[in-house]
Amino acid sequence: MTSQTHTTRLGNGVRVATVEMPHMQSAAVGFWTGTGSRHERDEENGVAHFIEHLLFKGTARRSAETISREIERLGATLDAFTSEEQTCYHARGPAEKLEPMLETIADFFQHPRFDPGDIDNERGVIREEIAMGRDLPAQQLEDLTSAAAWPDHPLGRPITGTPESLRRLDESVVRRFHRAAYQGSQTVVSVAGRVTHDAVVRLIEREFADFPAGAPMVAEPAPSPRPGFAFEAREDVEQVHLDIGFHGCHRHDPERYAEKLLNVLLGENMSSRLFQELREREGICYEVQSDTMTFDDAGFLHLYVALAPENLPATLASVGRILGDFRERPPAGAELEEAKAYLIGQSRIALENTVSEMMWAGETLLAHDEVLDPEIVHARIEAVTPPAVRAIAGRLFRPDNLVVSAVGSKKCRPVLEDWRAVF
Average pLDDT over residues 18-30: 97
CB 44 within 8 A of CB 168: yes
Asked if 180 and 255 sit in the same domain, the reply is no
Average pLDDT over residues 405-411: 97
CA distance 95 to 25: 6
CATH of the domain at 72: 3.30.830.10
Asked if 186 and 263 sit in the same domain, the reply is no
Residue 125 has pLDDT above 70, yes or no: yes
The whole-number pLDDT of residue 3 equals 72
Domain assignment of residue 360, yes or no: no
Q: What is the DSSP letter of 31?
A: E
Domain assignment of residue 280, yes or no: yes
CA distance 357 to 190: 9
Domain boundary residue, one of 207, 236, 253: 207
Asked if 237 and 171 sit in the same domain, the reply is no
Q: What is the DSSP letter of 224?
A: P
Domain assignment of residue 105, yes or no: yes
Asked if 246 and 319 sit in the same domain, the reply is yes
Active site residue ranges: 52
Domain boundary residue, one of 174, 207, 240: 207
The whole-number pLDDT of residue 51 equals 98
Alpha-carbon torsion (269, 275, 281, 285), positive or negative: negative
Domain assignment of residue 33, yes or no: yes
The H-or-E segment that residue 125 falls in is helix 116-134
Asked if 248 and 290 sit in the same domain, the reply is yes
CA atoms within 13 A on the CB side of 108: 30
Report percent pLDDT > 70 for the chain. 100
Domain boundary residue, one of 175, 207, 239: 207
257-269 tens-digit pLDDT: 999 999 999 999 9
Domain assignment of residue 222, yes or no: no
The whole-number pLDDT of residue 193 equals 97
Domain assignment of residue 100, yes or no: yes
Confidence of residue 2 (pLDDT cuts 50, 70, 90): low
Asked if 238 and 154 sit in the same domain, the reply is no
Average pLDDT over residues 17-39: 97
**Beta bridge mates, 405:** 230, 243
Asked if 53 and 114 sit in the same domain, the reply is yes
Asked if 236 and 151 sit in the same domain, the reply is no
Average pLDDT over residues 82-109: 98
Asked if 13 and 138 sit in the same domain, the reply is yes
Domain assignment of residue 192, yes or no: yes
The whole-number pLDDT of residue 419 equals 98
Asked if 175 and 33 sit in the same domain, the reply is yes
Number of domains forming the structure of the chain: 2
Domain assignment of residue 367, yes or no: no
CA distance 327 to 336: 15
Asked if 86 and 161 sit in the same domain, the reply is yes
CA distance 177 to 39: 9
What is the value of pTM for the model shown?
0.95
Asked if 56 and 197 sit in the same domain, the reply is yes
Q: Average per-residue pLDDT in the chain? A: 97
CA distance 355 to 327: 38
What is the secondary structure of 303-327 as a DSSP string? EEEEE-GGGHHHHHHHHHHHHHHHH
Residue 248 belongs to domain spanning: 228-330+385-422
CA distance 323 to 396: 10
CA distance 279 to 73: 47
Confidence of residue 1 (pLDDT cuts 50, 70, 90): very low
